[in-house]
């Protein structure tokens, strides 16, 4: 989980509040379900969060997507993939984060397309998630992003700052991968 959230709501209350009329209650419920303590029903949480991805409010869809990534249920892939094309950038970014956390190779192509479209925050998160899913396979789409022109996305800037060369900047990714794994390829491509 990126930022710890408050655990002031019970599991049953969070499930109930996903259907509340108040958008703030629905967002809080979605956030709480991402912080499930051990022993709670992760499948029930994933089903409820997947349903919340269809909420009319972007805030609820965003929180539900992030929480699905935290829950880690691989069954959430099919529900998350359409959100890569959501009309709201925050929802797209949250879905991309969640898909990266899940690490399922089926998300690779939609994320590679997201790398070419949308605001810088969305494209930058696509960079991170592509590497989380498959560092070797991500090399080609990421080299295409080298000349992106936006400092947040342009990988040359990250290389100059050693963000992709050192293991100290990022913790180990799923499977033990660390960013320095692709440094020789990046050094050749980006100088």
Percent of the chain whose predicted confidence (pLDDT) is above 70? 72
Judge whether residue 155 has pLDDT over 80.
no
Q: Which domains does the chain have, with CATH numbers?
A: 1-102 (1.25.10.10), 113-191 (no CATH)
Instruction: Report residue 67 as tokens.
Output: 């929480």
pLDDT band of residue 124 (cuts 50, 70, 90) is confident
Instruction: Report residue 10 as tokens.
Output: 């019970």
pLDDT at 187: 46
Is the Cβ–Cβ distance between 122 and 152 less than 8 Å? no
Is the Cβ–Cβ distance between 18 and 26 less than 8 Å? yes
For 160, half-sphere exposure in the C-beta direction (CA atoms, 13 angstrom radius) is 8
> pLDDT tens, 102-111?
999 999 999 9
- Residues 6 or more apart whose CB falls under 8 angstroms from that of 171 comprise none
Average pLDDT over residues 138-154: 68
Picking from 68-72, 118-122, 177-181, which range would have the lowest pLDDT averaged per residue? 177-181
Judge whether residue 117 has pLDDT over 90.
no
pLDDT at 152: 56
pLDDT at 115: 85
Q: Which residue has the higher pLDDT, 99 or 153?
A: 99
Burial of 4 (0-12, 13-18, 19+ CB in 10 A): exposed
Q: Which residue has the higher pLDDT, 149 or 123?
A: 123
Average pLDDT over the chain reads 79
pLDDT at 100: 94
Q: Which residue has the higher pLDDT, 144 or 46?
A: 46
């Amino acid at each position: 989980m990126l930022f710890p959230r408050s655990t002031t709501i019970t599991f049953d209350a969070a499930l109930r509040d996903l259907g509340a009329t108040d958008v703030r209650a629905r967002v809080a419920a979605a956030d709480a379900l991402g912080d499930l303590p051990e022993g709670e029903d992760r499948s029930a949480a994933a089903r409820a969060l997947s349903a919340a991805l269809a909420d009319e409010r972007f805030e609820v869809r965003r929180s539900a997507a992030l929480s699905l990534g935290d829950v880690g249920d691989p069954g959430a892939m099919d529900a998350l993939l359409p959100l890569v094309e959501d009309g709201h950038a925050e929802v797209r970014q949250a879905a991309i984060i969640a898909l990266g956390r899940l690490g399922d190779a089926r998300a690779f192509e939609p994320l590679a397309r997201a790398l070419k479209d949308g605001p810088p925050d969305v494209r930058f998160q696509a960079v991170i998630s592509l590497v989380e899913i498959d560092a070797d396979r991500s090399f080609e789409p990421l080299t295409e992003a080298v000349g992106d022109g936006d400092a947040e996305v342009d990988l040359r800037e990250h290389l100059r700052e050693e963000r992709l060369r050192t293991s100290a900047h990022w913790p180990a990714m799923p499977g033990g991968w660390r960013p320095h794994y692709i440094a020789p390829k990046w050094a050749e491509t980006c100088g």
